[in-house]
Every structure is written in structure tokens, then in C-alpha cells.
């Protein structure tokens, strides 16, 4: 058992595995409801003058006003904190809500950020457009090169080091031990592709882990939600900013995501199994030039994947030799896999990266990110693996003129 496989949580039942923590987490003592409890209310009444004053000046009150806190949202946050081995967590209205709150909540004009060059395109645009406007300088580095983040840190100026692993869209990995050993700057990992089932960056010394819970965590394409976990001190600071930033989570989304967490372990196990089978199939296809999946021994960082990931996840990326024409034919020829961005849900989703998720990138940026004309990303769903592989095989055959 590697360190990343050590049980993460003491859900009141002693140390347990993450699948168990996901089922145990976020329950209130004495609450008989097995399903999460939905508090759609925007505000709460208080009993007395003194109680009003106490709540108005309290830190993160659970029942005062829902932008400050809400029992449904808090239950979701507590489960994420358990799963990530964190002291605390804070939910946001989306993954970008979480990312923008971390950057703007922690950085000031004149600060410096080191960011990975391969990121979710929204995060990349935030670093390239919003940060310069706020006077925050950003240096992009190749996160796959050991020591690259640490070398770019400017002592006394670098506030944040921001990484994503596995990264969009080619599933490049960042060595979490390497990142966690950085001193003098706060380290942040976007762990969306992994979910808390696959890896726990905080256990490697990273300061904050964040997720677009819109994806695998909620897992049913029925919530738009983000979450950040870390020390009580950092999350308290972010809470203060977040109440003013206003990108607070909706209780409905937190409810859906909390319910989603209960089945995350089983869903991810199936999605990983399917992705591994599909990756192997694609590696044997003459029409495909490269398949990227951390579980394949051909992945350039396969050893690192085995060291820091408990399972390899449901995402893979491949390149069609026939370029953009083949990419177009492929995505239009599947009947089970659907064309959509997003990932981690029950439906297998495919997208042609250059014209969808990464359409905001210049051609030089696309090339630097390893995104070609024929690059397709697949998020494996919960269909039977044989049906999916047959569907993909038919679509690959349709790419030939
Ligand atoms: C989707 C995604 C985001 C943004 O999340 P939203 O919930 O869409 O705002 C950030 N990072 C990664 C890796 C993502 O996949």
C-alpha cells in the first residue's frame, strides 16, 4: 500500500477507506434521515436580539443567511473535508467560483503566481486575462518537469503555485510530493479529474485542494458546484472573502453533490475499469496515433500515476491520425457516447478538444498543450463496457473515407 492508498478519514468509525468515508460523511448527530437534508432557505430567523447580534458577528454561522452558511451546504463541505483529510472545506457556485475565490482571495496587486501551462481552459484564461488586469503576475511552467514549479517561485513575491493533476486534456500529471515540498508560497491543486477517491493532495503537503464538483463528485450532470479544502486557517480566510465575492453554492446543488458522493466510489471503480479497457482497445487501432491514459504503461508518467493515484480514473484522450476531418466524423458517428463537454457522469461524453473545451486557445497554445486537430477526450460513463467499446469501434471505422 502506497501512502496515497492509506485510508483517509476517521468518520467516527476509526480509520476507513475513502469509499466508506463518502458514505459516512456529513451526517449530523441524531439526524434520522439517511438522505441529505435540503434547506432551500436563503435566510434563518433568530430567537432574540442577542442571538441576532451573535450570528451577525459569528464566523461561518450555519443558520444566519445562506451566503454565510447553510446546513445542506455545510454537510457537503464536511464530507469533502473528511475525504480530503482536511480540517475544513468551503463550497462555491461552480469550479470557476472556487478557483477565482482562491486566486482573488489570496493574491493582491503586485503578487506573483506560478501556474501550470496545461490547465482547464477557463483557469488558463483567468490567469491570462483577469490576473494581469488585477496586477497579479503569472509565470507558466511545464508541470511535468520535476522541480519546475519550485524554480519559478520568487521568494517574497510568489503567493500561489497552482497545479492541475491529472491535467486537461492530455492527462499529464504533476508530482504531488514535489509540489507539496515547495516552501514560501501556498500550493493549490485542481484535483477535479481525480476526485477525492483517487488522490489526496493535502497528504503530500499541498496547502489547498479544489474540485469542480460539477463533474465526478456530483456525478449526474445535475449540479454546478465547486469546493476547496485545506487548513481551518486558510478556509476561514477564504470564507471571509467568499461572503463578499458572492459565488456561494446553491443548497440544491450541494444536496445533489452530497447524494452523488455516496456512490462516488462505486462509480469511479466502474469508470476506471471501462476507461482501461477502452484505452487498451484504442491502442490497438491503426487509425489512432496516441492514447493517453495514466493506467497505460505507455503513459510517460505511468510510474508516478501508480505512486500517487489509487485508481486511474474514467478519462482518456486519443489522437485520430485523420486530423480534424476524422475528429468530426468520429464524434458524429457514435450513438452511445454523446458529444458534450464536462465529465464524470453516467453518460460517456466525447469532445473534440480543439473546437470545444480549448477553442479559446491560439494555435500556438494548442500545439504547446499537445492538442491536435484529431484530439478527442473521452469521459467514460456507466454503460456496459462492451457496448461502449463497440460504439467507439464503429465510430473509428467511420473516420475512414
Ligand atoms: C470543469 C472544470 C473546472 C471548472 O468548473 P465549473 O464547475 O465548470 O466552473 C475547473 N477545473 C477542471 C479541471 C474542470 O474540469
Query: Mean of the pLDDT values across residues 347-365?
Result: 90
Query: Mean of the pLDDT values across residues 40-64?
Result: 96
190 classed as catalytic: yes
Strand ranges inside 18-67, DSSP E? none
- Protein residue whose Cα sits closest to atom 2 of ligand 1: 212
C-alpha 50 to ligand 1 mean position (Å): 41
Query: Mean of the pLDDT values across residues 132-146?
Result: 97
Evaluate whether 95 touches 193 at the Cβ level (below 8 Å).
no
β-strand 137-141 against 186-190: which pairing, if any? unpaired
Instruction: Select which of 63, 90, 215, 329 is catalytic.
Output: 215
Q: Smallest Cα–Cα separation from 79: which of 273, 211, 271, 238?
A: 211
Query: Mean of the pLDDT values across residues 101-125?
Result: 96
Query: Mean of the pLDDT values across residues 141-170?
Result: 96
Report the residue among 91, 95, 222 best suited for mutation to probe ligand 1: largest number of ligand atoms under 8 A from its CB. 95
Which ligand 1 atom is nearest residue 192's CA? 13
C-alpha 363 to ligand 1 mean position (Å): 22
Evaluate whether 99 touches 190 at the Cβ level (below 8 Å).
yes
Buried-state track 354-391, b at ≥16 Cβ within 10 A, e below 16: bebbbeebeeebbeebbbbbbbbbbbbbbbebeebbeb
- Protein residue whose Cα sits closest to atom 1 of ligand 1: 212
Q: Smallest Cα–Cα separation from 119: which of 348, 291, 361, 312?
A: 361
Q: What is the pLDDT of residue 179?
A: 98
Q: What is the pLDDT of residue 321?
A: 95
Evaluate whether 103 touches 151 at the Cβ level (below 8 Å).
no
pLDDT confidence tier of residue 3, bands split at 50, 70 and 90: very low
Strand ranges inside 257-332, DSSP E? 288-292, 315-320
Q: Determine which of 11-20, 41-50, 111-120, 391-400 has the lowest per-residue pLDDT on average.
A: 11-20
Which ligand 1 atom is nearest residue 119's CA? 13
Per the model's pLDDT, the better-predicted residue between 376 and 4 turns out to be: 376
Per the model's pLDDT, the better-predicted residue between 280 and 28 turns out to be: 280
- In the chain, what percentage of residues exceed pLDDT 70? 97
Can you say whether the dihedral through the CA atoms of 384, 171, 358, 398 is positive or negative? negative
Query: Mean of the pLDDT values across residues 390-399?
Result: 96
pLDDT confidence tier of residue 325, bands split at 50, 70 and 90: very high
342: left (phi over 0), alpha (psi -120 to 50) or beta: left
Task: Respond yes or no on whether the N-terminal peptide bond of residue 58 is cis (omega within 30° of 0).
Answer: no
**Is residue 72 over pLDDT 90?**
yes
Query: Mean of the pLDDT values across residues 360-375?
Result: 89
pLDDT confidence tier of residue 8, bands split at 50, 70 and 90: low
C-alpha 45 to ligand 1 mean position (Å): 35
C-alpha 341 to ligand 1 mean position (Å): 10
Predicted confidence (pLDDT) per residue in 170-189, tens digit: 999 999 999 999 999 999 99
Assigned CATH for 18-261? 3.40.640.10
Output the nine-digit C-alpha cell for 313: 480514473
Q: What is the pLDDT of residue 12?
A: 63
Query: Mean of the pLDDT values across residues 310-331?
Result: 95
Query: Mean of the pLDDT values across residues 272-276?
Result: 98
Determine phi and psi for 318, rounding to 5 degrees. -145, 165
Evaluate whether 226 touches 94 at the Cβ level (below 8 Å).
yes
β-pair partners for 88:
230
- In the chain, what percentage of residues exceed pLDDT 90? 90
157: left (phi over 0), alpha (psi -120 to 50) or beta: alpha
Which ligand 1 atom is nearest residue 224's CA? 7
Q: Which residue has the cell 521568494?
A: 155
Which ligand 1 atom is nearest residue 99's CA? 10
Is 342 in a helix, a strand, or coil? coil
With 0-12 / 13-18 / 19 or more C-beta atoms within 10 angstroms meaning exposed / middle / buried, residue 177 is middle
**Is residue 368 over pLDDT 90?**
no
Binding-site residues, ligand 1, Cβ < 6 A: 94-96, 120, 122-123, 164, 168, 190, 192-193, 212, 214-215, 224, 226
Q: Which residue has the cell 482536511?
A: 86
**Is residue 2 over pLDDT 70?**
no
β-pair partners for 65:
43
14, 187, 290, 337 from 158: Cα distances, Å = 39, 10, 36, 43
**Is residue 120 over pLDDT 50?**
yes
pLDDT confidence tier of residue 14, bands split at 50, 70 and 90: confident
Where in the chain are the domains?
18-261, 265-397
**Is residue 10 over pLDDT 90?**
no
**Is residue 87 over pLDDT 70?**
yes
The CATH number fitting domain 265-397, selected from 3.40.50.720, 3.40.50.360, 3.90.1150.10, 1.10.3720.10: 3.90.1150.10
129, 307, 311, 343, 358 from 302: Cα distances, Å = 34, 9, 12, 22, 25
C-alpha 98 to ligand 1 mean position (Å): 9
Q: What is the pLDDT of residue 122?
A: 94
Q: What is the pLDDT of residue 4?
A: 46
| Residues in the chain, overall count | 401
Can you say whether the dihedral through the CA atoms of 164, 165, 171, 177 is positive or negative? positive
Q: What is the pLDDT of residue 360?
A: 84
Q: At what angle do helices 251-262 and 71-84 cross, to 10 degrees?
A: 40
- What is the DSSP-derived secondary structure letter of residue 279? H
Evaluate whether 251 touches 72 at the Cβ level (below 8 Å).
yes
Q: What is the pLDDT of residue 190?
A: 98
Can you say whether the dihedral through the CA atoms of 51, 57, 62, 64 is positive or negative? positive
Evaluate whether 185 touches 153 at the Cβ level (below 8 Å).
yes
Per the model's pLDDT, the better-predicted residue between 5 and 207 turns out to be: 207
39 classed as catalytic: no
Q: What is the pLDDT of residue 147?
A: 96
Amino acid at each position: 500500500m502506497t501512502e496515497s492508498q492509506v485510508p483517509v478519514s476517521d468518520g467516527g468509525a476509526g480509520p476507513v477507506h475513502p469509499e466508506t468515508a463518502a458514505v459516512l460523511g456529513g451526517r449530523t448527530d441524531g439526524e434520522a434521515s439517511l438522505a441529505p437534508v435540503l434547506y432551500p432557505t436563503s435566510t434563518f430567523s433568530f430567537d432574540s436580539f442577542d442571538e441576532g447580534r451573535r450570528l451577525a458577528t459569528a464566523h461561518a454561522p450555519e443558520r444566519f443567511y445562506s451566503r454565510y452558511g447553510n446546513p445542506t451546504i455545510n454537510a457537503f463541505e464536511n464530507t469533502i473535508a473528511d475525504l480530503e483529510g482536511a480540517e475544513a472545506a468551503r463550497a462555491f457556485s461552480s469550479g470557476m467560483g472556487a478557483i477565482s475565490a482562491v486566486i482573488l482571495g489570496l493574491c493582491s496587486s503586485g503578487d506573483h503566481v506560478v501556474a501550470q501551462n496545461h490547465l482547464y481552459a477557463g483557469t488558463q484564461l483567468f490567469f491570462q486575462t483577469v490576473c494581469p488586469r488585477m496586477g497579479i503576475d503569472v509565470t507558466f511552467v511545464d508541470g511535468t518537469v520535476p522541480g519546475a514549479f519550485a524554480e519559478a517561485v520568487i521568494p517574497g513575491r510568489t503567493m500561489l503555485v497552482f497545479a492541475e493533476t491529472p491535467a486537461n486534456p492530455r492527462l499529464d500529471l504533476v508530482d504531488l510530493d514535489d509540489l507539496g515540498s515547495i516552501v514560501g508560497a501556498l500550493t493549490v491543486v485542481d484535483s477535479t479529474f481525480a476526485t477525492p477517491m483517487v488522490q489526496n493532495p493535502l497528504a503530500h503537503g499541498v496547502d489547498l485542494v479544489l474540485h469542480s464538483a460539477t463533474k465526478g463528485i456530483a456525478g449526474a450532470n445535475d449540479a454546478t458546484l465547486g469546493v476547496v479544502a485545506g487548513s481551518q486557517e486558510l478556509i476561514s480566510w477564504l470564507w471571509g472573502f467568499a461572503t463578499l465575492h458572492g459565488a456561494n453554492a446553491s443548497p440544491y446543488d450541494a444536496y445533489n453533490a452530497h447524494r452523488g458522493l455516496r456512490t462516488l466510489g462505486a462509480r469511479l471503480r466502474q469508470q476506471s475499469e471501462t476507461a482501461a479497457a477502452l484505452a487498451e482497445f484504442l491502442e490497438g487501432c491503426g487509425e489512432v496515433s496516441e492514447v493517453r491514459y495514466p493506467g497505460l504503461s505507455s503513459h510517460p508518467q505511468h510510474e508516478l500515476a501508480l505512486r500517487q493515484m489509487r485508481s486511474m480514473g474514467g478519462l482518456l484522450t486519443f489522437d485520430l491520425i485523420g486530423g480534424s476531418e476524422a475528429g468530426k466524423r468520429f464524434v458524429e458517428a457514435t450513438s452511445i457516447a454523446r458529444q458534450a463537454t464536462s465529465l464524470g457522469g453516467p453518460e460517456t461524453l466525447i469532445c473534440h478538444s480543439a473546437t470545444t473545451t480549448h477553442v479559446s486557445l491560439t494555435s500556438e497554445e494548442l500545439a504547446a498543450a499537445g492538442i491536435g486537430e484529431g484530439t478527442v477526450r473521452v469521459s467514460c460513463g456507466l454503460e456496459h463496457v462492451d457496448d461502449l467499446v463497440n460504439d467507439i469501434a464503429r465510430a473509428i471505422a467511420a473516420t475512414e473515407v
